[in-house]
DNA sequence: CTGCACCTGACAACAAATTATCAAATGTAT
DNA sequence: ATACATTTGATAATTTGTTGTCAGGTGCAG
């Protein structure tokens, strides 16, 4: 819980690490209803904890449990993980933990707000750039047209016209 | 729990009661390592509790558990029966902690998503600017080309005029 | 002795779970 | 353009789990 592990593995790597085929990984994901995250390309990305889970799954498979049973076992494991902390920590620790967690939540809320602000700013920036581009575009185009037409008709002093404008 | 547990059933009866074939009962006995008593003739005799166990087994089978899993489940069932299984203390704190933790995870996921979106948008913005620049570049180039050709043919002196200004 | 209800073990038949393979599509990098 | 690592879905092949059947045995009641 202390480790915010940002390391993610792709299916090929996991397959290598655990010695099971990719299609088996996908099969397990479907059957056990594991929720493996995806990246922008919707490729699976496995977190360390996912891999721990998979290791457990493999052990249970070794023991001869079918996926239905493993599913239940995983639920239990999660529960005992949660409750396991209670048996090991006394109340004061727990209270402290909760308060720290609360702080994190606050911070996260702050971050969320900031992100939203940034998004808004981005939008404005996009608009601005868009407008500016169009303007420039227009000007250059105008100028070019003007000059072209000038060329086409006569060779009057386009420069003076420009000046006049 | 009472001492009036002396009622025993033979395999035929049990088969009738539970609606499963005799050979299936034998199969389950072997596979689940149930310890069914025998009488003098070494015929199986099923106690009420054996039948309860079998009912449980059937339920678990319905759920899709294989015999290996059911074996484990039976062990667990016995344990919780024996110990009476005191339910968790500190439940409230724990529940709260878990719920807060869940929130954190959710928020983090949200943050991650937002960040990714922003990144994408940034990239797109960059591309856009790039494209615009290129276009403009082209137009200016066009203009310059025209200008040059103009210079080549007539108006030699426009440059000096421009300088003069 | 015969029939019945049970026993065992081996094996066949079926069902379900698991693993493997294929085709088509996508995005990325060289 | 090509190669590569993914994705999904469908389907085949294989393994494992479960149920059914068969061929003998034992004991005992009628």
Q: Which of B25, B56, B83 is the endpoint of a domain?
A: B83
pLDDT digits (tens, 9 = 90+) for A49-96: 999 999 999 999 988 899 999 998 888 777 666 655 444 444 444 555
Q: Do residue A112 and residue A95 come from a single domain?
A: yes
Nucleotide nearest to A13 (CA to C1'): D5
Over pLDDT 70: what percentage of chain A? 65
- Confidence (pLDDT) at B124: 73
- Confidence (pLDDT) at B113: 73
Q: Do residue B74 and residue B105 come from a single domain?
A: no
Would residue A137 count as lying in a domain?
Answer: yes
pLDDT band at B140 (very low <50, low <70, confident <90, very high): low
A162 vs B: CB within 8 A: no
Count of domains forming chain A: 2
B94 vs A: CB within 8 A: yes
pLDDT of residue A99 exceeding 80: no
pLDDT band at B105 (very low <50, low <70, confident <90, very high): low
Q: Do residue A115 and residue A49 come from a single domain?
A: no
pLDDT of residue B32 exceeding 90: yes
pLDDT digits (tens, 9 = 90+) for B63-92: 989 999 999 889 877 766 665 554 443 444
- Confidence (pLDDT) at A141: 67
Hey, which residues 130-149 in chain A have their CB within 8 Å of chain B? 133, 136-137, 140-141, 143-144, 147-148
d(CA A72, CA A66): 10
pLDDT band at B160 (very low <50, low <70, confident <90, very high): low
Q: Which residues contact B140 (CB under 8 A, 6 or more apart)?
A: A140
Q: Do residue B28 and residue B67 come from a single domain?
A: yes
Asked if A101 and B104 count as a contact pair (C-beta separation under 8 A), the reply is yes
pLDDT of residue A165 exceeding 50: no
- Confidence (pLDDT) at B59: 93
The highest-confidence range among A21-35, A120-134, A140-154, by mean pLDDT, is: A21-35
Mark yes or no for CB contact A148/B150 under 8 Å.
Answer: no
- Confidence (pLDDT) at A129: 62
For residue B131, the enclosing domain spans 91-153
Least-confidence region, from A11-25, A93-107, B66-80: A93-107
- Confidence (pLDDT) at A118: 76
Q: What phi, psi does B123 have (nearest 5°)?
A: -55, -45
Q: Do residue A80 and residue A120 come from a single domain?
A: no
Q: Do residue A12 and residue A79 come from a single domain?
A: yes
- Confidence (pLDDT) at A139: 72
Residues with CB under 7 A from strand C: A 21, 23-24, 27-28, 31, 40-41, 61, 66-68; B 10-13, 22-23, 26, 38, 42-44, 64, 66
B129 vs A: CB within 8 A: yes
The 3-class SS string of chain B reads CCCCCCCEEEHHHHHHHHCCCHHHHHHHHHHHCCCCEECCCCCEEEEHHHHHHHHHHHHHHHCCCCHHHHHHHHHHHHHHHHHCCCCCCCHHHHHHHHHHHHHHHHHHHHHHHHHHHHHHHHHHHHHHHHHHHHHHHHHHHHHHHHHHHHHHHCCCCHHHHHHHC
Residue from B119, B104, B111, B109 nearest A113 by CA: B111
Question: What is chain A's mean pLDDT, rounded?
Answer: 76
Asked if B68 and B54 count as a contact pair (C-beta separation under 8 A), the reply is no
Structure tokens at A63: 């023991």
pLDDT digits (tens, 9 = 90+) for A105-128: 777 777 777 777 777 777 777 777
């Amino acid at each position: 819980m202390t480790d915010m592990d940002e390391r993610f593995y792709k299916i090929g790597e996991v397959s290598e690490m655990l010695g099971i085929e990719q299609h088996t990984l996908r099969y397990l994901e479907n059957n056990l209803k594991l929720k493996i995250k995806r990246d922008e390309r919707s490729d699976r990305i496995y977190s360390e904890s996912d891999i721990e889970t998979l290791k457990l799954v493999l052990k249970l498979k070794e023991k001869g449990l079918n996926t239905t049973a493993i599913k239940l076992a995983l639920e239990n494991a999660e529960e005992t993980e949660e409750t396991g902390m209670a048996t090991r920590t006394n109340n004061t620790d727990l209270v402290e933990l909760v308060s720290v967690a609360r702080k994190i939540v606050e911070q996260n809320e702050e971050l969320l707000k900031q992100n939203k602000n940034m998004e808004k700013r981005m939008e404005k920036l996009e608009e601005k750039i868009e407008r500016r581009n169009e303007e420039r575009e227009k000007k250059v185009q105008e100028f070019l047209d003007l000059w072209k037409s000038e060329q086409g008709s006569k060779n009057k002093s386009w420069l003076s016209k420009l000046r006049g404008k």
